[in-house]
Structures are given as structure tokens and as C-alpha cells.
Amino acid sequence: MNKTHLIATCLALTLPLTLVGCGEEPNQNTVQPSMTSSTEKSTATAPVAKKVAHVMEIHGDTRVDDYYWMRDDARKDPEMLGHLAAENVYTKATMGHTEDFQAALFKEMTGRIEKDESSVPYQQRGYWYYRSFAGDQEYPIYARRKGTMEADEEIFLDANKLAEGHEFFSLGGYKMSTNNKILAYSSDALSRRLYNIEFKDLATGKMLADKLVGTSGQVIWANDNTTVFYIRKNVETLLGYKVYRHKLGTSQDDDVLVYEETDKTFYTYLGKTRDESVIYIFHDHTIKTGASIIDADKPDSDFTLFHAIEDNHEYSFAKLGDDFYVLTNWQAKNFRLMKVGADKTADKSAWVDVIAPRDDVYLSDFMIFNGHLVLREKEKGQIRLRVIDNATGAAQNLKFDDPVFSASFSVNPETDSTKLRVSYSSLTTPNSIFEYDLTDGSRVLLKQDKVLGDFNPADYASERIFVTARDGAKVPVSLVYRKDKFTKDGTNPIYQYAYGSYGATMEPRFSGSRLSLLDRGFVFALAHIRGSQMLGRGWYEDGKLYNKINTFTDFIDVTKSLTDQGYGAKDKIFAVGGSAGGLLMGAVINMAPELYRGVAAHVPFVDVVTTMLDASIPLTTNEYDEWGNPNEKGYYDYMKSYSPYDNISKQAYPNMLVTTGLHDSQVQYFEPMKWVAKLRDYKTDDNLLVFDVNMEAGHGGASGRYKRYKNLALEYVFFFDLLGIKE
């Protein structure tokens, strides 16, 4: 079991070439106006929102929000909906002359995708499971074969059929009963992350009468094949906080509440150990975790704490035989691995080291097999997978090809195996599944995503550099570019992306759609700024709470260094971030707007102070240890000093594309809506500001395999158009 941070959607996007007019070189210290006739081709007028003063007072400080009226939790207010519709009309009119280019780019990006594609099958309880796509279908088909892959195919779930009639559809997941006979799956057709759980008898193909509504989407089977555990959500805050036990054949009204989380700063998740002997409720707080467990053979028993929940203590675990292996930060900032008997988990003095704490190595994950232990470590930002023989203690590092890459554990459901499946990718290598032999380290490539067309990885190069931030910190940056389009002379456009919150590390992975940027001369820069755990736990702590501003200044310092080193032109820098990365965009353009030609902020978390003061908004109280609690004056003052919405000023801003979904449950639509309205009122430039609102989607944008590329095509073309790139 590994700790799960609820991480907002992170968008890895791409960009174009650049064109500077003949004659005098533009001033490289100011934001340049659009260098195409975009604004000339549209006579549309940007919507102007009405102002209604809403006064907010706390700690002796007064803030006035003229656009607070835009919030409507029911999402039915005609004036609010009318304004969003007007924004969409303006966006369409402003970008209308690029629609053919958008369509062509959409075709270009989706044309690289292998239409008829299947995942690598994995074996569990005597069946081989896999999912597949066919043709233009937006959603996968899930199937299995008994015994061997030569057996008859059994399609047990077709997400395309489930999605019929819905503008949005999300499959939360599925679980088979332990006897392989009953399927439980969850789905959401409203994009609010409120999932319904349903059940299917796989022998008859008929649906059971049982239906569980208002859930988190997780469902865990007990070993009796008739009992499941699930989490109900608060429909207002959307926090999953009540764990119920359901018996097949009974009404949801009769389900038994087995756990209720009363502390609103915790997230609640469910899980089951790989040996299927223990069911757990995971209690996840920003700086402390815990778990309550039961014997999966005794579903009617009471949950008991694995270990007491303690401040600043985070742990997760896996089970092998009669022992638990515990990944913990107890007296180990970068985590250590310990081992304890199943009957002594509550006594930390009984825990013994398997991997002792190390100051310079971050232990991020592990996987235990009957014969081997596999560690996922990071040192100086570089991933390492280390295999240790349980009997002899002999260790070896698994081999990888690229200098900058991402590697993580793939699907490995069974402990009785000498094979390890690894998901591997780099900025130049498509997503791959390798199977390693744990005894000798040899490997077999099981699958690599096909990139259709004339893609040749040898045409591209990647680098890892370190940028010195203003306080002396060394910030890693992963770069990729097309060799024949790049010259290190300060002329290329740069697409700079980052996230920088929750300890989430954006690894350098391949993106087929990104080729549309690289092939047009862009350098893609992934800035591993503070707030992630790229350089270990301390890197995260240096980018949260009272250190949050380091996240923003790191991004700015990376921008300056990239141009100083000749990776790109000072007037051709484009910045992109989503969710908490949208907060990053908002802070950066307030602090250094002159650096960026264009910015895309997707579902941006920009009204930090107001949101964090409102416990009724989803995901607020859980995150006090990430951002601070503004009910305390110190945090309020610090948060207000960088909150993008509160710090808009009368100045020039870059060209901007802002996106949101009306049904977003993580960053409510009214945050970017208000932000755009206030920016329109304050900004002193004539640069573009367009706001694209998906009236059907939530935080993750459009659902489906292909639809999301329409949004990406809009973003890319928005940037391309600013540079005069027409195709």
C-alpha cells in the first residue's frame, strides 16, 4: 500500500515556432502584442462582468470581492450561466480564424495514436486480464481469458456502451470477487466524482439489483464473495468520509456504517493487501497517516488501528506471510523500510529496519515478493529500482537506457513471482512495459506504445540541467527538443511546464502530442520546482506553507536561466500549468508578467484565501498542512501575499488562455471565472485573454480517448497563432 495524495490533474502539453518581424528587434523585457492578425480578424468584444461588492473581514483586514456573485453551488443561476456562455462565444469568435488549424492539429495528434490497441495482459487468480481500444471508440473494453491467452475471450465490461447517451463518462474502476464470479464497477456520468457502484453476475451476464450511490468509486471485496466495503461522500464537500459494509442482495439503506471520519482534515481510502488477507481503511492527512485493518476472511469483525496516528508520522505497508513491511518516515525524513510481525504492528518498538534511513536517498516506493524486495529510490532526482534477494541480501540495480527517464511499478498482482513488470518512459521513448527477471536482472520488452507516422526517437534529444535559484538552490529541469529544429542560440520558443504542490513529482515522460510542439521548433522544459519531491522530502517541504513562494520564484528563475543559456528566445516563452499548477501560473504572471509571451492556465486554483477560508468547498480543510490555515493570521497574511486573485494589479499581462469545467469538484468553476473577470478589468495591455468553459466536464476536462485532444489543439494553436505559425 502506498500513500496517495489527491493530486489535481496535471496537463503535459506542447507548442510552436516563432516569427519576429523584419527590422528592429522587439524589446525583450516587455510582453509583446500578438504578432499575427488575430485581434484584427475578430470584432468580438470581451464580456464585461457586473460588479457587486462583497465585503470579507478577518484578522482586522478587509477584502472586497466584486465578483463573488458568480458562485452558484447549484450551477443553475441564469445570469452566471449566461456570462459563461458569453465567454465561450467570445473565445470562439476570437479563435474562429484558427478553427481549420485546430482541426488539422487534432487530426495530426490523434493520427499518431494506434487505434486498435490492447494493454499487456496480467494474470490473477487463474485469469488473464486486459483492456483494449478499437477504431474511433472513446472508451476501452475490458476482457479476460481463463488459464491461457489462447482461451475464449470473455468481455465483462464495455465502457463505450455504458457511456452511451452521456456527454461525460468516467469509469471509476472495477473489482472482481475473489471467486471470479461477480464484477463490481463504478461510474460517474456527471463529472462530479460521485460514483455509482453496480454489480454483474458474470455467469449469466445479468446485472444484480444492488446499486450503491454517492460513493467515492472504490469497492473492496471480502473473501466471502458476498460482502463489499465502500465509501460514501458528503455531497456538499465531496469528501469521502463514511465507510460502509454492504451484503449482496440487500438494500443500500441497510448497509452498516463501519467507520466515520470526523476529522475533516483527513482523506479516506480503501485497500486490500496483495495476498488478499487484509482489508484496510487508509487515513490520509498531509503530514500524518494511519490505517485500520480487518481480516478479509472475517468481514463482520471490527476494524482496528494498524498503529496509532501520530503527528508528522506517515506510513504505508505491504504484507508477506506473517509480516508487514512498513514504509515510514519515523526518524527518517526521506523514509525507511521496516518490518514487523502481524501481531505487533501497534508497537513501534517492535519494528526493525530493513532499509535504514539515508539523508541523500529518497525511498519513494517498494514492492515485496516471496523471494525478492524491490525498492524505488531517488538520488539527485534520478530514479533507481534496486532488487534485493530476500534470502541472501544480494542487491542489483535494474538497467535503463535513457539518461533522463521515469520508471515505476506496473501491474504486479501476485507475490509468488520472480518477474517484475515496470512502466518505463522518457522524453524521447514512448511508454513501455518491461518484464524483469528478479534473479538475474535480465529484461524483456512486453510492449511499447506505437507512435504512428514518421516518428523516429533518434530525431530528438533530452537533457537534465540544474538551474541555480535566487537563494542558491539547484532546481532540476528536464528538456527535450528536436535536434534539427534546435540551435542553442536563443532563438527557439520554449514551452515551460511545472506543477509544484502536494509533493507530486512530474516525471519526464513521453507524450505523442508533444511532438506537434517539438516538430515546430519548440523546446519543452519540465521544471522540477520546489513543492515536488524530485530531490526528496526536503524539496517538498521547501515549497509548502511558509515556503510556498519558493515554488513561484523557482519557476521564474528557470525561465530566466533557460534564455540566458540560449535554450530559447526571451520573447518566445510560453508557460503552462493546471490546477495547483494554475495557481503557479497566476502567481508568476503577477510577479513577472514581462517574461512570458503566452500562458495557459487550466482549471486554475487562484482564489486561495477565500477558498481556504470556506470549509464548505471541497478539499479545503484537508489541505491546511499544504497551504496553511488562513484562520490563523500568520498564514492568512502569507497566503494573501501570493494569492493570484488578490494580487491582480494595474499592469500588462501576457496573452492568456484559461480553461475550466462547470462541474469541477476540485477547483470550482467560479475561481477562474472571477479571476478572468478581474483580469479583464485590471490589465493595461491589449493582449488576448480568452476563457474556454466546458459546460459538461469537471476537473479532468473532456472524457474519452480522443476528445481531450480538441482542448489540447486549442491550446497549441493559441500559442502558435501568437507566433504566426499557420500550419
Active site residues: 579, 664, 699
Q: How far apart are CA 178 and CA 224, in angstroms?
A: 8
> b/e map of 88-125 (b: 16 or more CB within 10 Å)?
bebbebbbebbeebbeebbebbbebbeeeeebebbbee
Q: What is the amino acid identity at position 195?
A: Y
Residue with the three cell numbers 475473489: 178
- Taking CA atoms, 481 is separated from 195, 522, 525, 615, in Å, by 41, 7, 9, 44
Q: How far apart are CA 207 and CA 215, in angstroms?
A: 19
Residue with the three cell numbers 505523442: 512
| β 289-295/432-437 pair status | unpaired
Cα 703 to chain centroid distance, Å, stands at: 15
Q: How far apart are CA 664 and CA 61, in angstroms?
A: 30
Q: How far apart are CA 314 and CA 336, in angstroms?
A: 11
Backbone CA torsion sign across 292, 293, 294, 296: positive
Nearest to 637 by CA among 656, 601, 612, 666: 612
Nearest to 569 by CA among 77, 26, 158: 26
DSSP calls for 34-101: PSSSHHHH------------EEEEETTEEEEETTGGG--TTS--HHHHHHHHHHHHHHHHHTGGGHHH
Query: The C-alpha cell of 234 is what?
Result: 458528503
How many other CB atoms are there within 10 angstroms of residue 644's CB atom?
28
Q: How far apart are CA 193 and CA 220, in angstroms?
A: 18
Output DSSP code: residue 500. -
- Taking CA atoms, 239 is separated from 176, 209, 305, 474, 537, in Å, by 25, 26, 21, 37, 26
DSSP calls for 578-606: ETHHHHHHHHHHHH-GGG-SEEEEES---
Question: How would you write 111-171 as a 3-class SS string?
Answer: CCECCCEECCCEEECCEEEEEEECCCCCCCEEEEEECCCCCCCEEEEEHHHHHCCCCCCEE
- Taking CA atoms, 558 is separated from 213, 336, 428, 476, 571, in Å, by 46, 32, 22, 9, 15
Residues 6+ apart with CB under 8 A from 75: 81, 662, 663, 669
Q: How far apart are CA 554 and CA 587, in angstroms?
A: 12
| 64 CB burial (10 A radius; 0-12, 13-18, 19+) | exposed
CA angle 358, 479, 375 (to 5 degrees): 30
Query: The C-alpha cell of 345 is what?
Result: 504492528
E strand or H helix at 676: helix 670-682
